[in-house]
A and B are shown apart, each in its own frame.
Chain A
Amino acid sequence: MSDRANDNGIVRLPIGIPGFDLIAQGGLPRGRTTLVAGTAGSAKTVFAAQFLAEGIASDDEHGVFVTFEESPGDIRGNMLGFNWDITQWEAEGKWAFVDASPQPEDEAVVTGEYDLGALMARLEYAVRTVSARRVVLDSLGAVFARLGESPIVRRELFRIVSALKKLGVTAVMTAERTHEYGEISRHTVEEFVADNVVILRNVLEDEKRRRTIEILKFRGTAHQKGEFPFTILPGVGITILPLSAMELTQRSSDIRITSGSPELDEMCGGGFFRDSIILVSGATGTGKTLMVTQFMAGGFAADERCLLFAFEESREQLFRNGQGWGIDFQGMEHDDKLRVVCEYPEVAGLEDHLVRMKAIIEEFRPNRVAVDSLSALERVSTIKGFREFVIGLTSFMKDQEMAGLFTSTTPTLMGGESVTEAHISSITDSIILLRYVEMFGEMRRGVTVLKMRGSKHDKDIREFMIDGSGMHIAKPFRNVVGILSGRPTHVGLGEVDRISDLFAQGTSPEG
């Protein structure tokens, strides 16, 4: 049967919405209609308009926008914020509206049988006039609201979908949903266009809004399953973050780079790997920002480009700190070898932060990137969103063969681990712990390399001091146990020697 042949030979149309074609494994089924369903405020109209805008901007594919709800004037105005100049495109014959928005005198007084013949004639006329390849109908709910829940409306919508297929255009139809999770659309319109369904969600989770997109089905073709976060940016529109769709294809380098501290390099077995992600964890004041500062200075000294995202301290503070340790951030920035980007975590959602950070990285092309601190970003997100953010950022950086140093603040002064670590420790290549050690009424600092993927490293917990020239790592704490658990206990040196001897003897008694 010819239908079957069509099903197997579905061609994809890359639609150009950033990230969409990746999760759709190529794009929307070409020449078909896809239903895009979502609750109020889930960005259906933006998706629909962007579908046309990207077609015009990147492929010179013209589009027709049938609006049942907002007036064309409103749509032109609303979309200007995304730099989509619809008025200009209309003048160039690339975009046409079919205005089916409600008119003041347009009450549904039905006096007998009817059809949507006028709408169909206008739609075909518009498609022919601008030689459209893409069509949008936004939204079906408004048609039902106007004409009532009648079998005639269903039959007519079905006819429109068939007509669109005959015209050979790729179409997006939007429909309302009442709940984020439940039936696909309010008027169960999906049965008409059931071949392809995409769902947009805007979920309130832990008092934070989270937008996701899910391809529910593309009949007869493959696509990525599950929800993918997306964000809406001024000047860009919808940007999907296809995090879990990304492949672990990064090469792994064995080239070492300096941490900025020769002693720490030695503890790590010769420095960090060039494309590795390092997590530095410690309580407030243990020296995380100092490690970041040294990491940047070490890069500068090796003639690398360095980028610092600071979410906790201002530029002035960071620069003053640096000066205190003999590091001249200002001069480094002046040489265009360093860029410091300071932002409050609360100014944007994590998805927005990620897109912005990626843009800065792409523009500045650094060799190493530091984020101080991840914990600050965690505050503005859900746990799932945070994990996705870290995966997105790390894989992006690894892809570009950059080293990344992230800091994380532990909630307690002594020992402990932060939520940050619990969720991202498996993503990082190296973990360095900075801990307070209480000894005889004095707070001292300890550092240990907990994990160093692909390399031998020092297993000691070493004491370190901070002075006017930075960080100095000294000898291991030999007679203290329980540092990591936050309960340091002193043991006599005799006991230390005795335990060392036990292990030195080698095999265990049980064999």
Chain B
Amino acid sequence: MTAASPEALAERAVPLPKHLFKLYVTGQTPRSERAIANLRRICRDALGSDYELVIIDVLEHPHLAEQDRVMVTPTLVKQVPPPPRRVLGDLSDTERVLAELHVEPAAAPGPAREEP
């Protein structure tokens, strides 16, 4: 996976990856850290490496939150593939996250699971 900065994302010229997520968080709070960790785990397990994740701190980039009309943190925005979906909260409920995002598991099995 790659982690692009929010600004780089806006000006990108390279083709989009198969999955593009934006995660809005407020500061470096335990809740933010938990959401980021949960998302990374879910993506790794379900998508292998075929995804791109942009983490946006609303305290640093309030105008991006305004553009995307984000109200709640953490908010996960699935940008690609369409249709766009949003999931609120710290993503602790893995099953709901997967169900809402409608992500197709990677064709090839992902890397060995770290968790039992």
Contacts and interface: CB of A to CB of B under 8 A. Distances in A.
B65 interface: yes
B86 interface: yes
B87 A103 contact: no
Interface in A118-138: 118-122, 124-126
B84 interface: yes
A117 B89 contact: no
A433 interface: no
B90 A119 contact: no
Give the 7 A-B residue pairs with the shortest CB-CB distance, closest first: A117-B26, A125-B62, A112-B90, A112-B89, A112-B92, A117-B73, A121-B58
Given A113-B89, A117-B25, A117-B58, 13 more contacts: A107-B86, A111-B88, A111-B89, A112-B91, A113-B31, A113-B92, A114-B88, A117-B26, A117-B27, A118-B24, A118-B72, A122-B58, A122-B65
B97 A111 contact: yes
B66 interface: yes
B58 A106 contact: no
Interface string B55-74: 00011001101100111111
A107 B77 CA distance: 12
Contacts of B85: 105
B93 A111 contact: yes
13 contacts: A100-B69, A101-B69, A105-B85, A109-B88, A109-B96, A111-B88, A112-B92, A113-B92, A114-B31, A114-B88, A115-B73, A118-B58, A119-B72
Contacts, number: 96
Interface string A77-119: 0000000000000000000001111010111111111111111
A379 B91 CA distance: 63
Interface residues of B, number: 35
A147 interface: yes
Contacts of A107: 86
B47 interface: no
A511 B99 CA distance: 102
Interface residues of A, number: 27
Given A118-B70, A118-B71, A118-B75, A111 B87 contact: yes
B86 to A, nearest CB: 6
B66 A112 contact: no
A111 B59 CA distance: 22
B36 interface: no
B35 interface: yes
Query: Which interface residue of B25, B66, B73, B74 has the most chain A CB atoms within 10 A?
Result: B66
B62 A121 contact: yes
Contacts of B63: 125
B89 A99 contact: no
Nearest to A123: B62
Contact of B66 (A98, A103, A113, A120): A98
B35 A112 contact: yes
A109 B97 CA distance: 9
B50 interface: no
Contacts of A99: 66, 69
In this complex, the member of A101, A106, A110, A121 whose beta carbon has the largest number of chain B beta carbons within 10 angstroms is A121
A109 B87 contact: yes
A501 to B, nearest CB: 92
Nearest to A96: B66
B116 interface: no
- The interface centre, meaning the residue of B34, B35, B69 with most chain A CB atoms within 10 A of its CB, is B69
Contacts of A110: 88-89
Interface string B16-47: 00000000111100010011001000000000
B80 to A, nearest CB: 13
A173 B34 CA distance: 33
A93 B90 CA distance: 35
A199 B16 CA distance: 52
Nearest to A97: B66
Contacts of A147: 72, 88
A122 B97 CA distance: 26
Given A111-B97, A121-B62, A105 B71 contact: no
A100 B58 CA distance: 15
B86 A114 contact: no
A113 B59 CA distance: 19
Interface in A195-220: none
Contacts of A115: 26, 31, 72-73
A273 B106 CA distance: 94
A105 B62 contact: no
Please indicate which of the listed interface residues A101, A111, A113, A126 has the most CB atoms of chain B within 10 Å of its own CB.
Answer: A111
